[in-house]
Structures are given as structure tokens and as C-alpha cells.
Structure 1
């Protein structure tokens, strides 16, 4: 109940300012001490995925901590893994503000952030400063000014730089807020991306004697045939995991709600069924060859179970954390 009272006050503030203010306050050493005093440790429920052992199935989705500034705080909430980013080779400011919009009655969020971040080097420095010893993933993307034809180079730069500082790498080719980015999910561009990514992974594996798994994050707005094609290529190139899904451009899911026509990616509860459908198709196509990390619309223990029943081996939370607070994570981990 306390969280919902605080949330009511925070929701009076513009969303992006509220997000930044909340994280900065929670990241203070005094709050960290209180968390350590009052939050009991969650029993470990280990699960193997991508060759890694996760303490539990519930992770923080990319987007919440783009620059790795709040790793230690999020680690105390009980997450089995934390995915940072999306981060790009060079810093960029992202799209013009306002760029986050809440739909309270639908437990939904629309964002058009555009990969705003302080760059890969800054993220590496923050990971080095973190005390967290758990599993960290880094979600990487291309810079806005990099043409789609040269986008693969941005991903290869990020892979090379972050390789020694992360447990897995997520390739974001599905954000709707960077022009033409989703074209990388199709045809020759997709094949070349997978081919060169795996080649770089092999090169770094040999160089550092460390194997870092690579996951591909896909869109919820793909057709069945497109998902089948993507599945075939993921198997062919031996990709380590697939993350399903990113935000959707299908605003018909909230067409009666104010702000529903704002451009940007929709996340939260309305995305749940669409995301589950994608996970189900992937699961049938991949036949356990490649694990699925399910994300989209998880706001309760029941929705978490549905995502796993659809075929996800791990799950991630973003909007659900904003609407229901840290207790949601602990409830899901304990009851899952």
C-alpha cells in the first residue's frame, strides 16, 4: 500500500522527470542501508540458460537503467539478472521531449526515447564501479546518425568494447523509435547481422578465453511468416537466445485511451497477449534449440506464469515495476 501512495505522488510529475528523480533518490546510500535492513533475501531458485546459471527467472528489462547508474540498487530488489541499455557506441540525446506517456487505466506506457544514453564507454565505467556480482546483460543499438547500411558496424564496436564486462549481450534491432532500425530483422540485412555478430563473438571468445552469449531482441509487430524466417536464421547461425518482445506500434490495443495516438512504442499490460503469441510461435519453431526470454505485459504472478507457459525460459519486467513496485518482483520469484 505504501508504494501505491508514493506512486500517486510520483505520477503527478512528468514521467521522465519522475523516473530520474525516483532512481536518484533510491540510489542514495541511506536508502540502500534501509533496503538492506528491511528487505529479506529471496531464496535462490537457480536456472541454467545460455550456459549461465541465473539465481531466478525474473530479470530487469532494458530501458530502466540505460547507463548502468543504478545497478547496485536494482540488484537489491531480488532480480535474477539485470539488462542495461540500450547503449550505443557514441553518446546521444535521443528524441525531443516529452517522450514518455502513461495510460494509468491500462497500466501502459508509450515511449519514443530514441536510444538516449551516454555511450558505451560511460556504461563500462559504471559496470566497473558496481559492487553487483550477479548476471548483467548489456543491450546494444546503433547511433541515430549511422545509416542502416552501416548499422552492423555499430553493433560490432559495442560487442568488442563491452565483451569483457558483461555476461550476455542483447542485440536490439526492434525498437520502433530509431528510423529504419527494424529493417535489420529482415532479408540480407538480418543474415549479415547474424553472420558478422557470430564472427565477432568467436574472435572475442578466442582473444579473451571467455564465451559471452548473444541474444537477439525482436519486435511484437512481426507476422507469423516473419517469425518463422527469423527462427530459421537464429538456428542456422547458432544464436544463443531470443528476447521477445520489444514495444509495439499497434496502438489499437489502447485506441479509446487519451494519448493513444502518440507515436512511439507501447509497453505494459496491453502488450501481454501480443507478446505471448510471439513467444508461442518462437517456441514451436525453435524446438528448445534456442531459449526465449519473455518480456511484455508482466504485472502479476499469473501473467508471469502465462509467459513461461507460452515458452519463455526467463522473463523480464519493466512497466510492471513502475505500476506495482518492487513487491511485484519478490512475489513472482517466491510463487513462480
Structure 2
């Protein structure tokens, strides 16, 4: 049986929550967006992302892995659209195709809305699981690293992929996994208007920032793994897949996978007071109430309430749960079990 893609469900739950005076979430509908061996004869769909664009449409994205469920290998980037709050969805469109001979293909990524120019920015990678400086695909030899595609009509059409290393030489050949999730545009000072997209590199957790509406990007100083030398093992400090949100005072908050279970089987949280330039170590904490089996989680700031979802179990990817915080992430005392079945970042 296919694992269900529950991101649209959260949108429906939140609509229910804020229609009443107190937070009382409930499951009102399930929607399966993708199944194995579905459109395009895709073996497996992984890494689902969801955003709502200013028109109100919901856009769901995923990696459509052609031959296996492995992170490396040939893929499409798939997208579906809903115009009615997630009740019905358009057929799958493939917005990126790395062809069929590629040994290590495209990976999602983050999707960010640039509100000043009404532009969608999808950052993805190519060939980052190999040490080679380039990989072959159907269009020839392409550099390893970070790319982006953009849309000026809310996802109906997309640009060709642009290699970020051509616009910033410091990003050439970098092994870095954005997200997976969504990027943000800061609403408050400092650095109001800045785009921020965070992810995991070989040596730590870093954020890409852009101060020119997404034309060029650079990487911040990040949160480094400990230790920085030798083979990493269980118990080492390794922040992984991550989501960033902005608080109403302009502070950035990130919630990250605790890849090697440092301190606890729980989530890592950190704060930045300078627009994502730095995340000082005194502001790195462990949310012991957010038990986690080392997996990607989801975080949303809605009307100054933080909603976090993950498989709420220390060992297994089961028990999909929604937690929420009304004190800017200091505590997450409230939770709701969505279902107790298996859950993963795949369908």
C-alpha cells in the first residue's frame, strides 16, 4: 500500500483550526497525490513539498524517481496544482527532466515566493552524490551543484535551469542539499525582503541568502558539525534536513533533523538575529518534547503559532503527529495525532 502524501491535509486542518476560538485540530480529508508506478512510469515519488501562492492555488512538488527509490539516479521534478484548497488536483506535470542516462540526477530542493516581483524560485541540485565536478545528462555535460528554475506565472511555465555557480563562483561544485521544504522572504527587519533557503552541507547546516530578489545567492557561516574531522558516528553533532521560519520580531528560527542523535532522539532548534548570517551556538537548543527518528520534519508559522509535524517516535517512522507552540518555539506542549501508521518522505 502506498504511503500517503499528507501535506495538503495540513492545509485543510489549519483551515478548521482557525475557524474556531480554540485550537482543536481534526482530520477532515485525505488525498493521495502520487502512487508508485504512476504517471510517467515513475518507480517512486519522494520529497513532497507544498506551497500556497498568492492566487490561493496550492502547488505540490516531488521527486519522481525513474528507476529506483535511491537518492541518486535519473528523475523528473513533478508538480500538481489545486485551485480549491486541496479538494481536487490537476494532473501531474513534469517541470524538470534530467533524462535517462544520468548516474546522479536532480534533487529537490526548496521553493520560495519572491513577493516583490511575483516570482517562484525552485532551488534544486544536480549530481551532488558523487565527487565528480560534472555529470552527463541528455543535454550534455553539466556542472555538479546548485541550480534554480523560476516561474513568473505561479507555476504554469518555468525557466530553464540556471547554475548558481555561474553567478557566484563560491558556489561552484558545492555539495549541499537545500531543505527539503520551502524558503522564506523576510517580512521584518533586519534585512527585510531578504530570501532565505536553508539546507545541509557536508560540514554542517547552512543557509543560502539573496538580497537581489533571487538573482544571486551566497551562503552564510552556518552551524558546523562536531567534530569536523574523521568519520562521523552515532552521538556526534550533525544537524541535517531543515526548515526555516521568521518570527514576528524578525528573528529566524530553524528546526532541523538530529542526524546522529546528539543529546537525544529529538529535534535541533536554533535562532538567528542577523537575518540568517549566523546562528550563534548559545542559541542552538534541543527540543526534547519533539521526539524524532532522524527524518525530515515540517514547520510552519501561521499567525504567530508554530506548527511542527513529524513521525513522533524515537526509532521508527510512524505516528504522524502535529505539535504547536504559542510562545515562539520555546515549548511545544500541544499535539494532535494525525494517524499511527507508517509515514515517510516518499509515496
Q: Which has the higher contact order (CA 8 A, sep 6+)?
A: 1
Q: Same fold (TM over 0.5)?
A: no
Structure 2 length-normalised TM = 0.30
Question: In proportion to residue count, which structure has more helix?
Answer: 1
